[in-house]
Amino acid sequence: MINAVGFLAYRNGYTTGTLKNSQLEDRLICFILIYSLEQRATYELQFIHSIRCSLSFNDLVLHRTADCLNTFVLMSREQYLHRAGSYFAMNDDFQLLVSSQEQSSTPELSVQDLLKDMLDSIDLLLAALKHNRSIDAETYNRLRIDPSQVKLPQLYFLTDLADFATSGLKLMIVAKDSATWKIGLYLDQLLRPFVTKILQQTTFRDEADFMRQLNIYSHDQHRLQQTTLFAAIKSRDFYTMDVHENVINIVGYFLEYNTFDSRVGNVSIQIIKNLLHIYLYNNVYAWQKKIYRALDGHIELFGRCKDEIFFTWNKTDNVGLQGFLQDIRETDRTVRYHRSTGAKVEFMNIRIENRDSNLFTSIYHESGVQKYRLPYVVGHTKLAHSDWLRSALIRAACCCTSVDDCHTEKTYLEVTLLANGYSLVFIDKHVQHFFDYFHASSMRYSMDQVMYKAPDTL
């Protein structure tokens, strides 16, 4: 340590004659920390570089999974590109516009011409709206495009473990600063508060909100009967399930039905539909030196909405429910979904069961997905995983009807942290803090179902 301190002091030009002892000590401690961090950063940079070189040499692709958990998938580049190609082959949501593989001349020029024509078209449409006084000068300037700042949106894929039997990939889009970014942001800020207020009665914000409404239905309103069935539906292509024209018409109908003067704020519904038309019909994306145009829907239209539906059914038996869902599918062939119906279903990672008019719920872990995974985080991982543990314990207490299921989930969370390198001391401290915070220390090891269901317990 003395040699290191002396070396660092000498390297930075400090001697005992130029600074007081206390000042020198403070400076040298800072230099030691900086030197240590510098060494660590250098090592990690070299380590990452070696990983990239190894992946490139072996023609491999490393990427995280689409569920945002701390899991990565390693596969050959050939397999990755084959699965991506299968995605485009099985979906008619994108149209290929430009492919460098099909052109012998410079493909960059074709891409530039394509973007220039699109930007000119958007500019003309916005200018026409301004000329007709459909939008004011302030809105026009807000929506105008600076060609030098436009970036071509990129497509990429993450592995979807829940759908690994088909393409196994989930499409992701990086669309910030695209040609339609400003228009999309404007529409989102205009419509989101209005739509959220109208749909809040039929929207589950999260698992806790879903459990609250389900308990009100079952316990407060006493509407759960012996014959009540549950239906859980997950759309397979929620964001691209309809063509642009239908999306525009549906949005227009929804706004007209829920407004008195056919306006949202100071903007008429017709202007909203015009801007939505510009937004939807001018989206192109790049993937592997190819340019695609989106034909159906858009993944970033109003944000990442939940693509799952849950409802109860008291009219007929399960056959009648299946017929009802089949009628919906036949009415609109663009609707593609996975469905689960009966007295026991899984929805939002919760197992829901009707046992003779009594509601039972517990945490559901999908069988085909790797267990004991922490969420993928960027930044202070220990702090983020501490918050995750607290949220997961609250989720277990809200979703588990049985004290046995709650303790089983708590054990699962503890094992997950252990499997990912956290100490028993760390886990015990945070679990105990959770029970202390909610004044439920007696429930940490208790298996008393009566105490667990008491209103003042957790």
Return averaged pLDDT per consecutive 10 residues of the chain, 458 residues in all.
48 50 61 72 88 92 82 88 83 74 49 82 90 89 87 85 69 83 91 88 81 87 86 70 76 88 88 90 83 61 50 76 77 70 87 89 84 83 92 92 94 94 94 93 89 69
Residue 378: what pLDDT?
77
Residue 397: what pLDDT?
92
Q: Within this chain, do residues 279 and 398 fall inside the same structural domain, yes or no? A: no
8-state DSSP, 243: B
8-state DSSP, 443: G
Q: Are strands 263-264 and 229-235 parallel, antiparallel or unpaired?
A: unpaired
Counted domains in the chain: 3
Contact 390, 458 (CB under 8 A): no
Asked if residue 280 is part of any domain, the answer here is yes
Contact 352, 344 (CB under 8 A): yes
Q: Within this chain, do residues 22 and 114 fall inside the same structural domain, yes or no? A: no
Closest CA to 169 of 287, 9, 272, 3: 287
Q: End of a domain among 264, 294, 324?
A: 294
Contact 376, 365 (CB under 8 A): no
Give the three-state DSSP class for 288: coil
Q: Within this chain, do residues 53 and 92 fall inside the same structural domain, yes or no? A: no
Q: Within this chain, do residues 162 and 284 fall inside the same structural domain, yes or no? A: yes
Asked if residue 333 is part of any domain, the answer here is no
Contact 308, 206 (CB under 8 A): no
Phi, psi of 170 (to 5 degrees): -115, 130
Q: How big is the chain, counted in residues?
A: 458
Task: Give the number of other CB atoms < 10 A from CB of residue 437.
Answer: 10
Q: Within this chain, do residues 387 and 458 fall inside the same structural domain, yes or no? A: yes
Task: Give the number of other CB atoms < 10 A from CB of residue 422.
Answer: 18
Q: Within this chain, do residues 87 and 48 fall inside the same structural domain, yes or no? A: no
Residue 177: what pLDDT?
83
Which single residue is written with the structure tokens 């004290």?
A: 403
> What is the pTM for the complete model shown?
0.68
Question: What gap in Å lies between CA 98 and CA 108, rounded to an integer?
Answer: 10
Q: Within this chain, do residues 271 and 149 fall inside the same structural domain, yes or no? A: yes
Question: What gap in Å lies between CA 373 and CA 420, rounded to an integer?
Answer: 8
Residue 426: what pLDDT?
95
Residue 307: what pLDDT?
66
Residues 6+ away with beta carbon under 8 Å from 241? 235, 296, 297, 334, 335, 336
Asked if residue 348 is part of any domain, the answer here is no
Element (H, E) at 32: helix 21-57
Q: Within this chain, do residues 20 and 134 fall inside the same structural domain, yes or no? A: no
Asked if residue 115 is part of any domain, the answer here is yes
8-state DSSP, 444: S
CA 327 → CA 7, 154, 323, distances in Å? 80, 38, 6
Which single residue is written with the structure tokens 């159906």?
A: 296
- Domain range for 390 is 379-458
Dihedral sign of CA atoms 7, 9, 11, 17 in order: negative
Question: What gap in Å lies between CA 46 and CA 51, rounded to an integer?
Answer: 9
Closest CA to 237 of 296, 166, 300: 296
Task: Give the number of other CB atoms < 10 A from CB of residue 78.
Answer: 11
Distance, C-alpha 277 to centroid of its chain: 26
Q: Within this chain, do residues 31 and 128 fall inside the same structural domain, yes or no? A: no
Residues 6+ away with beta carbon under 8 Å from 68? 375, 376
Question: What gap in Å lies between CA 105 and CA 292, rounded to an integer?
Answer: 19
Give the residues across from 339 on adjacent strands. 233
Q: Within this chain, do residues 48 and 94 fall inside the same structural domain, yes or no? A: no
Asked if residue 222 is part of any domain, the answer here is no
Q: Within this chain, do residues 25 and 94 fall inside the same structural domain, yes or no? A: no
Q: Within this chain, do residues 274 and 153 fall inside the same structural domain, yes or no? A: yes
Q: Indicate left, alpha or beta for 293 from its phi (over 0: left) and psi (-120 to 50: alpha).
A: beta
Strands of the sheet with 344-347, listed across from one edge: 344-347, 350-355, 358-363
Distance, C-alpha 416 to centroid of its chain: 22
Asked if residue 306 is part of any domain, the answer here is no
Asked if residue 366 is part of any domain, the answer here is no
